[in-house]
């Protein structure tokens, strides 16, 4: 089995799908690894390191894709909207592509992959079950995003985070409010606490209160009844406009008490819920900072713009995009562990084994035998609920 790793073509993407240390793991599984020359340079990994790790460094992208049975990338199909078509033109029927593919947000490229005959797996759709934890790219990358969000806020805030007792007087600590206590939110809480801030947090799931408090933050309770806040796969579920409206009214009372707001609420395949309106921003203290980690999906703040900082009534609203790519060395290390674990689950005695009884394989498989086979993606494309090549049966 030959596994190919290419340099990313998405603008600003500095990560690489496989790091040199992960090559040995795949070679033990009887796989040969081909790496495009320069694939890891933006992440800090040289061609020499890949060669010493046992990979074959190949001059061009075309050669890697032509020689690979499995192609590994960070971003493909819908997650690389400007570049996927060119790369897909190099693919061949029956070739396996594994990457983050954003299929629920941008399903049309999945249909293109099916026409090409590619067998595509989207790592974002790996179910959040215990056995799949080593493959969970959303968690590994969101963890880094939560950390970096706090550093962005600390840099832009007109105050310092920790309390300081000096000869010139005592400086009170900054107050940070984190909305959403998922992976990114919990890391944001932990990082803000390390920097000395007073932290509070809110989540629609009351069950996360213990996790929030274990990190030294105060859990803000809002008297709202919540049921089915997440789906069977462990991902957030949309809760309806009326719920979000009442939630926003209650959050509005909390915002003026804080210096920094970090929002992390997202629902796969849907626009992010608006939790902070223009009027709510206007009620905050000048100099305050909002870091909206959902900016790429429309934003939790009405004023957020992806990749930009908006100043409104003295409040800075930061809409960062692709934060893990600003820390590519460690982001790539984590991603490589995720994707190599996924590949090892696909291989049996060095050969591809598409066991459709395996929940991990079944739930992340997008295309097979020139058909879109994932039910949710088929629904997004307006296709019938199932096909003769659907997600049942064994291979």
Question: Which residues on neighbouring strands pair with residue 290, listed in sequence order?
Answer: 261, 317
Instruction: Give yes or no: 235 in active site.
Output: yes
Among 46, 89, 92, 133, the active-site one is: 133
The model's pTM: 0.91
Question: Is 136 in the active site?
Answer: yes
Listed range (14-28, 128-142, 377-391) with the worst mean pLDDT: 377-391
Predicted pLDDT of residue 207: 85
> Where do the domains of the chain lie?
2-125+328-380, 144-326
- Please indicate whether residue 128 is annotated as part of the active site: yes
Provide the CATH topology of domain 2-125+328-380: Rossmann fold (3.40.50)
| Distance from chain centroid for Cα 345 | 21
Task: Please state, for a pLDDT cut of 70, what percent of the chain lies above it.
Answer: 93
Q: In whole numbers, what is the pLDDT of the chain averaged over residues? A: 92
Among residues 47, 102, 136, 203, the one annotated as catalytic is: 136
Residue pLDDT, tens place only, 245-286 = 778 888 999 999 999 999 999 888 889 989 999 999 999 999
The catalytic residue among 128, 209, 218, 237 is: 128
pLDDT at 76: 98
For strands 96-100 and 119-122, give the pairing.
parallel
Q: Which residues contact 41 (CB under 8 A, 6 or more apart)?
A: 47
What is the mean predicted confidence (pLDDT) over 129-137?
96
Question: Do 2-125+328-380 and 144-326 come out as alike in CATH topology?
Answer: yes
For position 392, what pLDDT does the model report?
Answer: 41
- 8-53 pLDDT per residue, tens: 999 999 999 999 999 999 999 999 999 999 999 999 999 999 999 9
> What is the per-residue pLDDT for 385?
74
Q: pLDDT grade, residue 202 (50/70/90)?
A: very high
Predicted local confidence at residue 225, as pLDDT? 56
| Rounded mean pLDDT, 363-374 | 97
Name the active-site residue from 202, 235, 244, 335. 235
| More confident: 253 or 111 | 111
- Beta strand 315-318 pairing with 309-312: antiparallel
Tell me whether residue 73 is one of the annotated catalytic residues. Answer: no
At the top level of CATH, which class does the domain 144-326 belong to?
A: alpha beta
Contacts for 187-191: CB closer than 8 Å, 24+ residues apart? 187/142, 187/143, 187/144, 187/145, 187/146, 187/147, 188/146, 188/147, 188/149, 188/150, 188/262, 188/264, 189/215, 189/216, 189/217, 190/215, 191/146, 191/147, 191/150, 191/151
């Amino acid at each position: 089995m030959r596994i190919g790793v290419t340099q990313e073509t998405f603008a600003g993407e500095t990560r690489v799908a496989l790091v040199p240390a992960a090559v040995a793991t795949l070679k033990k599984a009887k796989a040969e690894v081909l790496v495009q020359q320069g694939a890891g340079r933006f992440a800090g990994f040289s061609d020499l390191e890949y060669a010493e790790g046992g990979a074959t460094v190949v001059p061009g992208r075309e050669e890697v894709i032509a020689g690979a049975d499995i192609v590994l990338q960070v971003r493909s199909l819908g997650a690389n909207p400007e570049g996927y078509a060119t790369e897909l033109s190099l693919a061949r029927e029956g070739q396996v592509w594994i990457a983050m593919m954003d299929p629920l947000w941008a399903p049309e490229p999945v249909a293109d992959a099916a026409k090409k005959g590619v067998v595509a797996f989207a790592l974002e759709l790996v179910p959040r079950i215990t056995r799949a934890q080593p493959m969970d790219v959303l968690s590994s990358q969101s963890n880094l995003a939560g950390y970096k969000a706090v550093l962005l806020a600390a840099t832009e805030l007109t105050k310092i985070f920790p309390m300081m007792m000096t000869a010139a007087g005592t400086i009170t600590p900054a107050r940070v409010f984190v909305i959403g206590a998922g992976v990114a939110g919990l890391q944001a809480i932990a990082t803000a606490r390390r920097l000395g801030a007073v932290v509070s947090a809110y989540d629609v799931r009351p069950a996360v209160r213990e996790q929030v408090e274990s990190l030294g933050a105060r859990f803000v309770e809002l008297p709202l009844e919540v049921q089915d806040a997440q789906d069977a796969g462990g991902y957030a579920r949309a809760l309806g406009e009326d719920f979000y409206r009442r939630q926003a009214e209650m959050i509005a009372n909390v915002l003026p008490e804080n210096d920094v707001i970090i929002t992390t609420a997202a629902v796969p395949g849907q626009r992010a819920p608006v939790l902070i309106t223009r009027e709510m921003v206007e009620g905050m203290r000048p100099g305050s900072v909002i870091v909206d980690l959902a900016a790429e999906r429309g934003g939790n703040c009405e004023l957020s713009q992806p990749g930009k900082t908006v100043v409104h009534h003295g409040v800075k609203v930061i809409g960062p995009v692709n934060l893990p790519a600003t820390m590519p060395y460690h982001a790539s290390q984590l991603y490589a562990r995720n994707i190599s674990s996924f590949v090892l689950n696909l291989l049996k005695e060095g050969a591809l084994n598409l066991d459709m009884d395996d929940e991990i394989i079944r739930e992340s498989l997008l295309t097979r035998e020139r058909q879109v086979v994932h039910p949710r993606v088929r629904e997004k494309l307006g296709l019938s609920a199932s096909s003769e090549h659907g997600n049942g049966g064994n291979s």
